[in-house]
Amino acid sequence: MDISTAWAADLAALTESLDEPGTDISQTLRQLAADTKTAVHSYLGLSAMFSVGGRRLEFTALEEDAEPEEIRASLRISLPTNVSGTEDPAATASLILFAATPGAFLDLATDLSWLAGSLDTAAFVLDEDLTVPPDPDTPSGLKALSTVDQAIGVLISQGNTLEQAHQHLDLLAAYTSVDRPTAAETILAELDLPSTTGLRSDERRPPRAHGPDRGPTPTQPPRDP
């Protein structure tokens, strides 16, 4: 199975977040692909679409030498989102399996549908997804979201509440006419400025968001009226 470098990095970061020794999300993905290939010999690959808490992860992993043009059969599995205990009612989880032989998933779909039993939130749709979802190689945006959250953390360390930190980031983005991830990068880049070296830790990060009458800097939006 061919997982691009960008997705592999995202999956590695997510595995770290999972904090479960012995668990590797890439390995789970590979095992799922291998098990599906055993059940359906013309299996070509899969697309995964997950979202929870405003974070979205979408990627496609085809088998080596498989081409999207070969797809003649698909099985979309909408999985129950409550299995992970998430409280996000808007969470979604879908997998699309692809194969080269028309009707290849018929038996598997019947079995899986029956095995899923009374889990009425699980749904199985045959052959409606015969193309790979667009832009499978585009980075997922997880890195940008990580940057934003780290910047929020920096702003909290400077004395902001969570709401104030978000507000500060929004204002900075608007003031400097950039998007939030770029504004967040600016905040994180400030941490690496040489002027901070040699200071005690509690002296390194003045509470800029609430600092008294300092002139505007790249990380200081105008005061919110």
Partner 1 sequence: MTEFDDEITVVAPALSFEQERADDLDLRAGLAGLAGLVPGSLDLQELLTRVASFATRAIPGADGAGVTLLRADREGTKIEALAASAPFVRDIDEIQYVVLNEGPCITATLDRRTVRSGSLGGDRQWPRFGPRVSRLGVHSALSLPLLLPDQVVGAINVYAHGKDVFDDHAAELGELFAAPAAVAVHNAQVLTQALNLTIQLQTALSSRPVIDQAIGLLRGRTGATAEEAFARLRAISQHENVKLAVVAQRIVDEAVRRARARSHQT
Q: Which of residues 16-75 bind partner 1 (CB under 8 A)?
A: 16-20, 22-25, 27-29, 31-32, 34-36, 38-39, 48, 50-53, 55, 57
For 93, the enclosing helix (H) or strand (E) is strand 92-99
C-beta neighbour count of 85 within 10 angstroms:
6
Question: Given the rule CB under 8 A, which of 62-70, 147-155, 169-177, 213-221 is the region that contacts partner 1?
Answer: 147-155
Cβ 16 to partner 1, closest distance in Å? 7
Q: Is 155 in the site for partner 1 (CB under 8 A)?
A: yes
Binding to partner 1 (CB under 8 A) within 206-225 occurs at: none
Q: Is 159 in the site for partner 1 (CB under 8 A)?
A: yes
DSSP readout, 113-171? HHHHTT-TT-EEEESS--SPPS-TTS--SHHHHHHHHHHHHHHHHTT--HHHHHHHHHH
Q: Is 162 in the site for partner 1 (CB under 8 A)?
A: yes
Query: Which residue lies nearer to partner 1 by CB, 132 or 154?
Result: 154
Query: Which residue lies nearer to partner 1 by CB, 54 or 215?
Result: 54
Cβ 69 to partner 1, closest distance in Å? 25
Distance of CA 112 to the CA centre of its chain: 27
Query: Which residue lies nearer to partner 1 by CB, 5 or 17?
Result: 17
Binds partner 1 by CB under 8 A, chosen from 71, 93, 96, 183:
93
Cβ 41 to partner 1, closest distance in Å? 8
Binding to partner 1 (CB under 8 A) within 163-192 occurs at: 164, 188, 191
Query: Which residue lies nearer to partner 1 by CB, 67 or 119?
Result: 119
Contacts 24+ apart (CB under 8 A), 110-115: 112/75, 112/77
Closest CA to 47 of 121, 135, 143: 135
For 49, the enclosing helix (H) or strand (E) is strand 43-52
Buried-exposed string 7-16: b where 16+ CB fall within 10 A, e elsewhere: beebbeebbe
